[in-house]
Amino acid sequence: MKPTRLAVLILLLACGAGHAEPAAPLGALAKMPVKEVTVFKDGHAYVVHQGTMPVDSSGNVLLDLLPTPVLGTFWPYSLDKKATLQSVTAGRRRVKVERTAMTLRELIEANAGAEVIVTEGTKPSYQATIVRFLTRSAEELDATLPPTGVEHVPMKGNILLLKTIEGTRAVPVEQLTDVKFVGKYDTKVSDEEFRNLLTMKLDWGGQPPANTAEVGMAYVQKGIRWIPGYRIELDAKGKAVVKLQATLLNELTDLKDATINLVVGVPSFYFKDTTDPIALSQAVAQLSTYFQTDASTQFALSNSMMTQVARGGEVRKSRTPPGGGGAAPVDLGPEIEAKGNQSEDLFVFTVKNVTLAKGQRMVLPVSQHNLEYKDIYTLDVPYAPPLELRRQVNNPQTAELLKLMNAPKVLHKIRLMNGGQQPLTTAPALILRDGKVLSQGMMTYVSKNGSVDLTLTTAVDVRVKKNDKESKRTPNAATFNGDAFWRIDIASSIELTNQSGKPIEVEVTRYVLGNVDKAGEGAKAEMVNLLEDDDGTHHIGRPDWWSYYPWPVWWGHFNGVGRVTWTAKLTPGQSAEQAYSWHYYWR
């Protein structure tokens, strides 16, 4: 006996229903709260979710959250003594969602069994009971459509079944012009849709599952960063009040009463550009420019560059900041713990009870310290191309370069000594005295007992006079590859005049492109290794104008970079001159 079509359909439905998971009610989905976040300045964050979550009928926890973690950083766990975590599955699953009916069709669908008075166009109205819309269930579609490996949501038709005294009518919903409810009615309609869910499968040891379970997960993901900022208040007596605040940018997830750890320093995330497969997709949410690796703040506010690390007691050479990028404050709410915690070579400030929604910004006071400082004056004189090379290029850039190098300026700075227990991190620094703004500079990373120089202004009361003149030219002074070279000796001096009304000390650093020979009393003359010198000086490497000139291949064989340093102590009205000599080779 051959089976009928109906029997085959029933068999297919039975087989399909065995493989398709039932739609999960929306109430079974949980949003695991964020317990703690460790925030790094480059935009990465170590996020810890943890909480008591509802358990579904299968004894599992369904999470309506799919993070986009860095590869190898996603770690789920269970803290429940009765349940062991077996696995975590990320995938699409049908979910029952209840929403307010917004159309006539949805309103009818939400009120199966309700008594209504129906009007179709100009026809007389009649009384009926809503039965249902004709619908192909997800199980039927899975069983009857060609296998594609993709689940389906129910397919709803436009035919409405209405029970009347004359029988059951099948009416296209488009023909209905008015529906009047006789008694009570509902405005909520239930529908099914697909969502990406995390399913935490729990093993309850053969016992009935509880209603809730204590579970958590941790991962590293880009989307939260903090931007530090300093306010330095000077008292003109060598004491400074240094205040640190943090601008917190949240583009990852909502935070409610979470603990935030602000980290000074940036660790290495080897797979930071690779998304963990648990995210289901390689597509990462577009973040603002504050999180882009090529943004100016990424360079300016990162501590990962070794050139920003100051050695204890060493003079820092300040960089020109490419611009700060603060965000508007939202709430000053939570307080910072008085002391940070040292964690290896990273330093952590802990903030408790932070509530910050995704997309919001917050400014937090972090720390305050009383440090010592002293006023200093510095003069940095960079090197210039040799005269013979400058003659080969005549353009406005060269003229402007020579103008700047022939008119060096003394800078007034403060030298801030970090005598506290915490490092100073790279950040914009606003400097004030008596409530008035003096300048804004760039604080660079300073470890405990180190120091940093911050520029206040140009010292216009200190006059600089620089003299360079050729003292001797020796032909055939050296040979290389059969070519003879001249030696050009230069006699130089720098004269400083203190036209201010107070005594000052000026730290002078002069670089020469060639070979320094000797300097006067109190000065130090030395050659600089451009590849290995680590004093933090940024302008001894090849400057921007280096590419203006066609440098001969033999240049580096004979010539290097020399440095002369000294300190000039000047009383009001006093002048002091320091002489030095150097040479270079040319042909």
**pLDDT tens digits for range 108-153:** 999 999 999 999 999 999 999 999 999 998 888 888 888 876 778 8
Q: Distance between CA atoms of 334 and 351, rounded to whole angstroms?
A: 7
Convert the pLDDT of each residue in 330-361 to its tens digit: 333 344 444 455 444 578 999 899 999 999 99
Judged against a pLDDT cut of 80, whether residue 281 lies above it is answered with: no
Q: How many angstroms separate the CA atoms of 239 and 279, rounded?
A: 52
Q: What is the mean pLDDT of residues 245-271?
A: 90
Q: What is the pLDDT of residue 534?
A: 44
> Could you give the residue ranges of the DSSP H alpha helices within 284-417?
296-300, 387-390, 396-405
Quick one: how far is CA 297 from the chain centroid? 9
Residue 289 φ/ψ, nearest 5 degrees: -65, -15
Q: Where in the chain is the domain with CATH 2.30.30?
A: 102-186
* 290 compared with 538, residue with greater pLDDT: 290
Q: pLDDT exceeding 70 applies to what percent of the chain?
A: 80
Measured distance CA(464)–CA(344) in Å, rounded: 46
Say what the alpha-carbon torsion angle 284, 287, 290, 295 is, to the nearest 10 degrees: 60
- Which pLDDT score, from 0 to 100, does residue 38 have? 95
Residue 147 buriedness (CB in 10 A; 0-12 / 13-18 / 19+)? exposed
Query: Band of the pLDDT at 542, cuts 50, 70, 90?
Result: confident
Side-chain-side CA neighbours of residue 279 (13 Å): 19
CA distance 362 to 227: 10
Residue 29 confidence (pLDDT)? 67
Kindly tell me if the per-residue pLDDT of 401 is higher than 90.
Answer: no
pLDDT (0 to 100) of residue 148: 75
Residue range 449-487, pLDDT digits in tens: 999 999 999 999 999 999 999 999 999 999 999 999 999
Strands of the sheet with 115-120, listed across from one edge: 167-172, 155-164, 126-136, 115-120, 176-181
Q: Out of 2.30.30, 2.40.128, 1.10.287, 1.20.120, select the CATH number for domain 102-186.
A: 2.30.30
Residue 215 pLDDT > 50, yes or no? yes
Measure the CA–CA gap between 65 and 90, rounded to whole angstroms: 10
Work out whether strand 176-181 and strand 115-120 pair parallel, antiparallel, or are unpaired: antiparallel
pLDDT of 301 above 60: no
Asked if residue 331 lies in contact with residue 362, where contact means CB atoms within 8 angstroms, the answer is yes
Least trusted range by pLDDT, from 279-288, 453-462, 547-556: 279-288
* Confidence (pTM): 0.73
pLDDT band at 34 (very low <50, low <70, confident <90, very high): very high
Average pLDDT value for residue range 424-450 = 91
Top-confidence range, 147-161, 251-265, 378-392? 251-265
Which residue's structure tokens are 């060639």? Answer: 514
Res 133: pLDDT: 94
